Amino acid sequence: MKFKAMTAIAALALSVPMLAYAEADDDKLVTNEEIEMVTKAPAPAHLEGALDEVMSGWHFRADETQEMQRDDFDNPGMIFVETALDEWNKVDGSEGKACASCHEDLESDMKGVRAGYPKWNDNAEEVRTLAMQVNACREGQMGAEKWKYAGKEMAAMEALISVQSRGMPVDVAIDGPAEATWEHGKELYYTRTGQLDLSCASCHEENYGNRIRSDHLSQGQINGFPVYRLKNAKLTTAHGRFKGCVRDTRAETYKPGSEEFIALELYVASRGNGLSVEAPSVRN
């Protein structure tokens, strides 16, 4: 009898830290002792019935990984931001322009930009992601060649632009002309794909906080994208991650930059309305 009680206590003692590890924690994220990040926020109205609270993926990571995002020096994603800064000032293309030729003050001109993308572009009559806008500038204004949609130059440039909005709440518009795209994205989010028959929601809405093999499922928020991943030591864009997720359901994936992923990006971004822009974040 006594032995059984001891075993029960031992089992309890073991299981408590495991539980605490598996669930989202209550840590606070302040970057550079200056930027206070909102990493938990009340869910936006359109998520009523699905989620009450939205949480940054930061909460689901181990303390050591979380720590890397508290200081820019410890954040390996900032290496890529520095490379992109060189690119920002570099003249490219037939027009003899750099990004900096039009956007003279990077900090003030790009402040808040990342928080509102993807968004409707009136002239082009399409929903544009940040990457599409960068390529539109490169082709239209600079006369330069487009970058690969989810390639390393683009990921770094997205990170540089995102840094100017860090700490600002994600606020993408889902009504008006963007609504049809948003609805399409929502449909994709809840559509099961692949041999494993999983939708985005199967993992990131119904099972966040639970384990998937040795890892923890987050809510799949993209407020921290592009993200520096420890597993491959480089930046990953939202579309790169979408592709990885869909592939993991054992399906043929859509392509980065495809209509489907643009719609999905708008929808997923809108699920994080209210969370701070964290990019470049650090994840495993």
Partner 1 sequence: MASGVKPRVKVPKTAAAGEAITIKTLISHKMESGQRKDKEGNVIPRSIINRFTCEFNGESVVDVTLEPAISTNPYFEFDATVPEAGEFKFTWYDDDGSVYDTSKKVAIG
| Cis amide prior to 177 (ω within 30 degrees) | no
**Conformation bin of residue 220: beta by default, left when phi > 0, alpha when psi is -120 to 50:** left
Return the structure tokens found at 41: 């926020």
| Site stretch for partner 1 (CB under 8 A), options 16-24, 71-79, 116-124, 276-284 | 71-79
The verdict on 76 binding partner 1 (CB under 8 A) reads yes
Q: How far apart are CA 221 and CA 204, in angstroms?
A: 9
Residues 122-161 that bind partner 1 (CB under 8 A): none
Q: Distance between alpha carbon 266 and the CA centroid of its chain, in Å? A: 11
Residues in binding contact with partner 1, number by CB under 8 A: 7
Residues in the chain: 284
The verdict on 65 binding partner 1 (CB under 8 A) reads no
Return the structure tokens found at 196: 């494993």
Q: How far apart are CA 31 and CA 158, in angstroms?
A: 19
The catalytic residue positions are 245
The verdict on 45 binding partner 1 (CB under 8 A) reads no
Phi, psi of 216 (to 5 degrees): -105, 135
The verdict on 34 binding partner 1 (CB under 8 A) reads no
Which residue, 97 or 234, is less far from partner 1 as judged by CB? 234
The CB-of-55 to partner 1 minimum distance in angstroms stands at: 29
Residues 213-242 that bind partner 1 (CB under 8 A): 233
Residue 253, CB-side half-sphere exposure with 13 Å CA sphere: 17
The CB-of-175 to partner 1 minimum distance in angstroms stands at: 42
Q: Distance between alpha carbon 235 and the CA centroid of its chain, in Å? A: 11
The verdict on 73 binding partner 1 (CB under 8 A) reads yes
Applying CB under 8 A, among 65, 83, 121, 199 the residue interacting with partner 1 is 83
Q: How far apart are CA 277 and CA 228, in angstroms?
A: 14
Contact 231, 150 (CB under 8 A): no
The CB-of-226 to partner 1 minimum distance in angstroms stands at: 16
Which residue, 72 or 109, is less far from partner 1 as judged by CB? 72
**Residue 104: how many other CB atoms lie within 10 Å:** 9
The CB-of-71 to partner 1 minimum distance in angstroms stands at: 8
Which residue, 68 or 172, is less far from partner 1 as judged by CB? 68
Which residue, 76 or 93, is less far from partner 1 as judged by CB? 76
Q: Which residues contact residue 27 at a Cβ distance below 8 angstroms, ignoring those fewer than 6 apart? A: 59, 63, 66
The CB-of-18 to partner 1 minimum distance in angstroms stands at: 29
Helices 259-271 & 179-189, crossing angle to 10 degrees?
A: 90
| Site stretch for partner 1 (CB under 8 A), options 49-57, 79-87, 137-145, 207-215 | 79-87
Which residue, 213 or 231, is less far from partner 1 as judged by CB? 231
Which residue, 111 or 234, is less far from partner 1 as judged by CB? 234
Residues forming the site for partner 1 (CB under 8 A): 73-74, 76, 79, 82-83, 233
